[in-house]
Structure 1
Amino acid sequence: KNKLSLSSGKSDCFALWIVPVYLLWILRPCLVNKLSNFANAGLSLCCSWVQSHAHYSTIWPKMDPAQIDDRISRMEDMLNQLIAASAAASAENRRGLAQVRDEMANIHTRTQALEQSPASLEAGSSSPASASAAAPPPVSAGVGAPLPSPREPNVGAPERYDGDPVTCNAFLCNCSIIFSLQPLTFSSEEARVAYTINHLTGRARLWGTAEWLRGTSICHSFQSFANELRRVFGTGSLGADAGRELLDLVQGSRSVTDFAIDFRTKAPMCDWNPAALRDVFMRGLAGYMKDELVAYELPSTLEGLIELATRLDLSLHSKSPVTPASSSLASTAPVSVEDPEPMQLGHTRLSLEERERRQRLNLCMYCGQPGHFVSRCPVKARAHQ
């Protein structure tokens, strides 16, 4: 019985392991293929790892520690240089901003000063030195920076002077105006004299160049140079010669306006008093204007006399198509006048009331009749004949 149990147990064990072996034997081709594929996949993975490791070693070869330290130090130097350049640029920007703030503060201060005191502009144009001394102190809004110089006005250059005595004073006056408006540009006397010589031409330039090359004393003062220029080329423009030219000046056939312009141009060159200038102007007027003025109370000043004569001359030209200077006294037709008695020039003057009445009624100041003025009065013409 025991033998039977052992034999049956052995048969069961054989059945247990023979079945898998049989199955493996049957499935052997499939298993061999699977194992072959698995081996190929593992081999591919190993080859890929070897190739990647070799590529990494080629790109990043092993370096000496000394070379690594050298590269790191060079990179640190480059970084320090970049930081220093950035700091310098930042400091330059800060300085530029500070200068802009200072300039804006200065402009604001000057604008407020001009608004508070409008008269300071005229005072500054007449005396630049006093204006610069009275200017308010600049306001500093940041780091200390030099304030920009005030901008001077742009003035045109004068016409070149060729030695004409008539235009000598005008040329020197233009130069003086430029020096007054641009005191910073022409801060020295030598610069002013050099500018004046540079604007001479012709014989005046030859004279100025000779004086400059000789280094005479007049080249160190503009006023001295101007006086010498007037003395050499301005003969007949000042003093007694100017007085003679003024005495010879007459109205002629011109209008009173043109005559007054020439008179005002020459009068400042004489050292005469206002009363003398008034009498000389009256002396130079045309005859018809003297006849018109005889009926008026003459002003006591030169400007008043010029204004009255100009007004009367314009009135005559606007009412009469024939100019008073060219009208002939002899061509006037005779007119019988009985009363009132005509005014005799040089003997009797009209009263103030009568003069105002005749002016109001547009009557002749000589005979008192309407239709004409004193310059064309027939009674006056017969009296002169």
Structure 2
Amino acid sequence: MEPEPTTAALLEAILNLTNQVGSLQAQISSQGQQLAELKAICKETNNLVGDKDQGGAQTKPGPSTGPITPPTHSGGEAHTPGTVRPGLKAPFRPSRGTGFDSEDEEPRLPKKEPQGTPRRHLGYLTPFDAGSSVKQPKMDLPKPFKGDTRGRKATQWLDRMMLWVALHCNQFDEEEQMVVWILYHMTDKAADWALPIIGNIIKGKGNPPTTIQALTAKFKEAFANPDAKQATARKIAALTQTTTTSEYVTEFRNLMAELDWNTEAYIAQFVRGLHWKVKELLSTKDNIPDDDLEAIFAASVKIDNICWENEENRPKKTPAKSPVSTATTSTTTTQRVRLSEDPNYVTPEERDRRRASGLCVKCGQKGHGIKQCPNGWKATPKETAKVAQDKSEKE
């Protein structure tokens, strides 16, 4: 006969059974989550296939469409909409399309934020409200950044990416998700830099950038040209107005975008490079604030436009004929008349004809050239008259 179990043994057995039941429940929950993910993927695939069969607008998944949940740092599997990932503050609910919610999803109303809450960093870039009837403009998603370019091209890609995110900010619940979305669209060398940051954001480790401003600073540290500011400072110092003031302002603004000077330095450099006439007229305008760069831009462009308009409307003077040219023409004509009266004068056309025929240029006969001509030059009218006078005197 077996001994009766003690109370301690019974408690231990109950605890073991409880742990096993909890483990089984966790496995069931995990399998249910996986089934939900598979259902979502099948539904997504079915929608895509259905759109293709019906001849509707085909939506290709990938970087060229709307936000798609980026993979985790370790497993690489996509989370379904509404799934809370570790390290993220809110569920990531992407939608298909090029910036609009799909038809099978309920329309999402704009979130009501409590008073005093600062606006989203990129929200002020777009005036479109998620609940507005105005249709948002469509913008193609920029191509993934490979990291093989640095400097201005890299920062321009980031600016275009942030503009895309701003136009589709209603698809993101948190600014942190915008950061992950931008990092997800980096490949090759850039992905080697971005994936560890995504992993830290998902796992909640370290101090990764979770705002657009922090991401911009970290991105520029990695991909911006360290000598770009010095080179741009040299360019803006050498910039002067050579065409219209409008073009000068445009070039000046482009260089300003890469610098972080204060307003006084910008104004001093801009005025230094202005055309002297525009600068002179600008100094007479007392109603323009000395510390308002935009007002100085506008006033300079207006002054230059007025100067060009006055120059075009000014009556043009017809140039007077120069008497020197008339005298030269008459002198040339007189010389030609005198040459034609000379019996030894041979026209250029006649010279070419005699050379082509093998004749002497001087006398026009065959058998010798101009240097061996035995005939000599013909006597001029004055010489003929003198010879006749000598003969009459001898007689």
Shorter chain as denominator, the TM-score bin is: 0.3 to 0.5
- Structure with the greater alpha carbon radius of gyration: 1
TM-score with structure 2 setting the length: 0.36
Where is the helix percentage greater, Structure 1 or Structure 2?
Answer: 1
RCO higher in structure (CA 8 A, sep ≥6): 2
TM-score with structure 1 setting the length: 0.37
